[in-house]
A and B are shown apart, each in its own frame.
Chain A
């Protein structure tokens, strides 16, 4: 495009001659001036040359791209002879080329190009004045002016303007001249050619700019296409943030749509406002030129998050003329980012929970105080706590000594057995050597299985309880119990002594009082009655005290329900007299191994107490039920005796089981509950009481069931 447009052999002399023949010839200057396009110059020039009387003329043109030199237009020159003038810039022995390189006109009287003398006039793009580009760039360097002034040696090969990068043209006009041609004629011819060249240069320059403009238009169109085809909004704004240009994606947000609804307009206005604000803030912050921007999609109506990146644009003079902003839709990105973040947070929380759990578990394991061993499915130890480590050595470790080796073997035998058994849990004694105690100890091994997702055993966890301590405590308990029994027995022996020593005199007194009845004078009756009732009271106390220690009865399996029924039957009349309603609920009970008479005494004591607590009548509730033990072997028979009576004062409830404590005043001996407690304890049972003043009292008795 930068090459001069050629008028390649377009010229047809006959036509031109025929058209112009009958007209007055106008001066060549004017005719050349009429030329609108550069390719019209050569034909007009050649016509003028012929008009001057030269027989024939042609123009050759240099193609800078290929270096080819070819005839571009010819007049009255035989076509077949034109070929001789077709050559190339680098052909050193061609006379035309030689002349071209000199860039000065020459007359070749003898040449191998033509049989007549020829005048060769090289022409180059040249101008007297600086071109606009150089003017604008404020530089004096312009190829056209350089060529015109011939400031340097002209090199045909380097005809490119260093300022505007314009590619110049080079050509030569070849005219056949007569053998002895006057210098005047040649000078006129040269002037004509130079004149034509000046016009040609001007037209060439115009065409050059036109071409450049077309190129730029294409470039602009391409850029526009690129910009429009971008999915992200791109906006060019001026320094006042007014939109100069925007692509379709941006119009969606910032241009007021054709169909105006109030909502849309408001959305667009808001977007513009936000955008403007973002631009301002970016401008102020200077270095940081991105901002997050939430815009409303005017068409879809949904909010979208953008990341706006702005860059200033500068004019040719280096002054900022505006800002280009490209906005990236990061809605999904941010959402994904947020999701990622929240997932990460969740993960971290979960991790924290797991960590805490693990710490807690470790803490528990460390504080269980029993050795804990975790084994894999091959019964290999994978985890031990410090206590277990003393027994077996560290996990994954070769036993350090014989003791650990022996213990590991013992454990492995037990664990293997358990691992391949069908049981999920196991509880078995394992004998292990305890290095601290220097002896073999029986541990109570409790094991559980951990399964993998296929239901296969992946690990077993075993807690080893050193039962010696428990046994010791149990033995201590037994010893204490024995001591209590012994104490009880000792008290019993004391009671027996008292019984013997006090009983006989009292027996005599009592009998004597009986014998005196009837023989007493009337006046002594009150004294006699005191004597009688107080002696009876002493007799009652002694009787009750001794009753407890009369081990006259063998313990054997007895139905507690029968004893309850007997007791109620025995006391039925008394209860009825006192207006006491009896509610009994006797469940199915296993036989209890007890001394029936003693339990009968317990029950009658409690029932009579209940009756005495309800002087105005009430309700007596007796329940009996079986409380089985989880092992199914033993268990308890529970007897509940409740009344709706006066209740026991809070301050007394602690002492009611002590001897000689009574709520009945003179009527009671204060021994009933003491005896009850003694009997229940003798049976290995448990006795407890709950009472509320004015509401009533509940006694709970648990007797052990022993399967014989």
Chain B
């Protein structure tokens, strides 16, 4: 809870009810949540302030996608952990997400999984940053590189519960 308080999370979804529930759930966990219902709003938000993570619906208003928001957010922080929330993803979308090191969570999302992934995302990001800063790890470059693989391996195993530190 205490740790969670440090993190600012941007949540984007065009459905107001969904957006609200995500926000409430994340806030219940103690995260500082900024909720946007359009890409325009969200891009304004990321330009305005920095976030520790972005959770974004794939299909937004009109023809906009979550990729635009994440790309905009990463202009400030290229290593920014991000996840796409979607009900349906084409092969191209999935490929693009993988290439861009963006996680994909399929709706309906088990709330436990949702929270675990979020916390994971934040912790790894936090750890990797510390590793780079502290230079204590033997393989500092390897962590970021292997992330995708390790993530998929983690997903293959039974999903872990929310991380409570």
Is the CB–CB distance between B88 and A546 below 8 Å? yes
Interface status of B18 (Cβ within 8 A of chain A): yes
Interface status of B59 (Cβ within 8 A of chain A): yes
User: Which residues of chain B have C-beta atoms less than 8 A from A506's C-beta?
Assistant: 108
Hey, what's the 0/1 contact readout for B132-165 against A, CB within 8 Å counting as 1? 0000000000000000000000001110000000
Interface status of B5 (Cβ within 8 A of chain A): no
Nearest Cβ on chain B to A152's Cβ, whole angstroms: 151
Hey, what's the 0/1 contact readout for A374-391 against B, CB within 8 Å counting as 1? 000000000000000000
Tally of A interface residues using CB under 8 Å: 27
Interface status of A420 (Cβ within 8 A of chain B): no
Nearest-CB residue, chain A, relative to B108:
A539
Is the CB–CB distance between A507 and B109 below 8 Å? yes
Is the CB–CB distance between A500 and B87 below 8 Å? yes
Q: Which of B20-28, B41-49, B62-70, B75-83 lies on the face that meets chain A?
A: B20-28
Interface status of A239 (Cβ within 8 A of chain B): no
Interchain CA distance A543-B59 in the complex, whole Å:
18
Nearest-CB residue, chain A, relative to B91:
A551
Hey, what's the 0/1 contact readout for A486-522 against B, CB within 8 Å counting as 1? 0000000000100110011111101110110000000
Is the CB–CB distance between B156 and A570 below 8 Å? yes
User: Which residues of chain B have C-beta atoms less than 8 A from A511's C-beta?
Assistant: 18, 21-22, 24-25, 111
Interface status of B94 (Cβ within 8 A of chain A): yes
Nearest Cβ on chain B to A293's Cβ, whole angstroms: 103
Is the CB–CB distance between B106 and A543 below 8 Å? yes
Tally of B interface residues using CB under 8 Å: 27
Is the CB–CB distance between B158 and A546 below 8 Å? no
User: Which residues of chain B have C-beta atoms less than 8 A from A505's C-beta?
Assistant: 15, 17
B158 touches which of A496, A503, A570 (Cβ 8 Å):
A570
User: Which residues of chain B have C-beta atoms less than 8 A from A504's C-beta?
Assistant: 15, 17-18, 87, 107
Interface status of A287 (Cβ within 8 A of chain B): no
Interchain CA distance A353-B122 in the complex, whole Å:
89
A499 in contact with B91 given A506-B108, A515-B24 (CB within 8 Å): no
User: Which residues of chain B have C-beta atoms less than 8 A from A553's C-beta?
Assistant: 91, 94
User: Which residues of chain B have C-beta atoms less than 8 A from A543's C-beta?
Assistant: 106, 108
Nearest-CB residue, chain A, relative to B97:
A552
Hey, what's the 0/1 contact readout for A547-562 against B, CB within 8 Å counting as 1? 1011111100000000
Among A511, A547, A550, residue most surrounded by chain B Cβ atoms (within 10 Å)? A511
Interchain CA distance A547-B88 in the complex, whole Å:
9
A503 in contact with B108 given A508-B15, A511-B25 (CB within 8 Å): yes
User: Which residues of chain A have C-beta atoms less than 8 A from B17's C-beta?
Assistant: 504-505, 508, 512
Interface status of B35 (Cβ within 8 A of chain A): no
A551 in contact with B87 given A510-B108, A510-B111, A570-B156 (CB within 8 Å): no
User: Which residues of chain B have C-beta atoms less than 8 A from A512's C-beta?
Assistant: 17, 21
Nearest-CB residue, chain A, relative to B114:
A511
Interface status of A566 (Cβ within 8 A of chain B): yes
User: Which residues of chain A have C-beta atoms less than 8 A from B28's C-beta?
Assistant: 515
Hey, what's the 0/1 contact readout for A234-267 against B, CB within 8 Å counting as 1? 0000000000000000000000000000000000
Interchain CA distance A539-B108 in the complex, whole Å:
6
A552 in contact with B87 given A506-B108, A510-B108, A514-B25 (CB within 8 Å): no
Nearest-CB residue, chain A, relative to B98:
A552
Is the CB–CB distance between B91 and A552 below 8 Å? yes
Is the CB–CB distance between A499 and B111 below 8 Å? no
User: Which residues of chain B have C-beta atoms less than 8 A from A542's C-beta?
Assistant: 108
Nearest-CB residue, chain B, relative to A574:
B158
Interface status of B104 (Cβ within 8 A of chain A): yes
Interface status of B89 (Cβ within 8 A of chain A): yes
User: Which residues of chain A have C-beta atoms less than 8 A from B111's C-beta?
Assistant: 510-511, 514
B106 touches which of A500, A550, A551 (Cβ 8 Å):
A550
Among A496, A508, A543, A554, residue most surrounded by chain B Cβ atoms (within 10 Å)? A508
Interface status of B2 (Cβ within 8 A of chain A): no
Within 8 A of B (CB), among A524-574: 539, 542-543, 546-547, 549-554, 566, 570
Interchain CA distance A547-B104 in the complex, whole Å:
13
User: Which residues of chain B have C-beta atoms less than 8 A from A550's C-beta?
Assistant: 88-89, 94, 106
Nearest-CB residue, chain A, relative to B104:
A552
Hey, what's the 0/1 contact readout for B104-123 against A, CB within 8 Å counting as 1? 10111101000000000000
Interchain CA distance A547-B108 in the complex, whole Å:
11
Nearest-CB residue, chain B, relative to A554:
B91
Is the CB–CB distance between A515 and B21 below 8 Å? yes
Nearest Cβ on chain A to B101's Cβ, whole angstroms: 16
User: Which residues of chain A have C-beta atoms less than 8 A from B25's C-beta?
Assistant: 511, 514-515
Interchain CA distance A510-B111 in the complex, whole Å:
9
B94 touches which of A500, A510, A552 (Cβ 8 Å):
A552
Interchain CA distance A499-B58 in the complex, whole Å:
13
User: Which residues of chain A have C-beta atoms less than 8 A from B89's C-beta?
Assistant: 550, 552
User: Which residues of chain B have C-beta atoms less than 8 A from A503's C-beta?
Assistant: 87, 107-108
User: Which residues of chain A have C-beta atoms less than 8 A from B24's C-beta?
Assistant: 511, 515
Among B18, B88, B106, B108, residue most surrounded by chain A Cβ atoms (within 10 Å)? B108
Nearest Cβ on chain B to A562's Cβ, whole angstroms: 11
Interchain CA distance A566-B21 in the complex, whole Å:
35
Nearest Cβ on chain A to B152's Cβ, whole angstroms: 10
Interchain CA distance A496-B89 in the complex, whole Å:
9
Is the CB–CB distance between A500 and B108 below 8 Å? no
Interchain CA distance A500-B86 in the complex, whole Å:
9
Nearest Cβ on chain B to A322's Cβ, whole angstroms: 121
Interchain CA distance A505-B20 in the complex, whole Å:
12
User: Which residues of chain A have C-beta atoms less than 8 A from B109's C-beta?
Assistant: 507
Nearest-CB residue, chain A, relative to B13:
A504
Nearest Cβ on chain B to A113's Cβ, whole angstroms: 164
Interchain CA distance A539-B113 in the complex, whole Å:
14
Nearest-CB residue, chain B, relative to A543:
B108
Nearest Cβ on chain B to A410's Cβ, whole angstroms: 49
Nearest Cβ on chain B to A512's Cβ, whole angstroms: 5
Interchain CA distance A386-B158 in the complex, whole Å:
70
Is the CB–CB distance between A507 and B107 below 8 Å? yes
B87 touches which of A510, A546, A570 (Cβ 8 Å):
A546
Is the CB–CB distance between A546 and B21 below 8 Å? no
User: Which residues of chain A have C-beta atoms less than 8 A from B21's C-beta?
Assistant: 507-508, 511-512, 514-515
A570 in contact with B157 given A499-B88, A550-B88 (CB within 8 Å): yes
User: Which residues of chain B have C-beta atoms less than 8 A from A539's C-beta?
Assistant: 108
Nearest-CB residue, chain A, relative to B115:
A514
Interchain CA distance A92-B87 in the complex, whole Å:
164
Is the CB–CB distance between B18 and A507 below 8 Å? yes
Interchain CA distance A512-B104 in the complex, whole Å:
22
Interchain CA distance A566-B153 in the complex, whole Å:
11
User: Which residues of chain A have C-beta atoms less than 8 A from B91's C-beta?
Assistant: 551-554
Nearest Cβ on chain A to B86's Cβ, whole angstroms: 9
Nearest Cβ on chain A to B127's Cβ, whole angstroms: 26
Interchain CA distance A501-B17 in the complex, whole Å:
13
Is the CB–CB distance between B90 and A551 below 8 Å? yes
Interchain CA distance A505-B21 in the complex, whole Å:
11
User: Which residues of chain B have C-beta atoms less than 8 A from A546's C-beta?
Assistant: 87-88, 106
29 contacts between A and B (CB under 8 A): A499-B88, A500-B87, A500-B88, A503-B87, A504-B15, A504-B87, A505-B15, A505-B17, A506-B108, A507-B15, A507-B108, A508-B20, A510-B108, A512-B17, A514-B21, A514-B111, A515-B25, A543-B106, A546-B87, A550-B94, A550-B106, A551-B91, A552-B89, A552-B93, A552-B94, A553-B94, A554-B91, A554-B95, A570-B157
Query: Contacts A504-B15, A511-B22, A514-B25 given; 6 further ones with Cβ under 8 A?
Result: A508-B15, A510-B108, A514-B21, A546-B87, A550-B94, A552-B90
Which B positions have Cβ atoms within 8 angstroms of A? 15, 17-18, 20-22, 24-25, 28, 59, 87-91, 93-95, 104, 106-109, 111, 156-158
Which A positions have Cβ atoms within 8 angstroms of B? 496, 499-500, 503-508, 510-512, 514-515, 539, 542-543, 546-547, 549-554, 566, 570
Q: What 5 A-B pairs come out closest when comparing CB atoms?
A: A511-B21, A552-B94, A508-B17, A503-B87, A539-B108
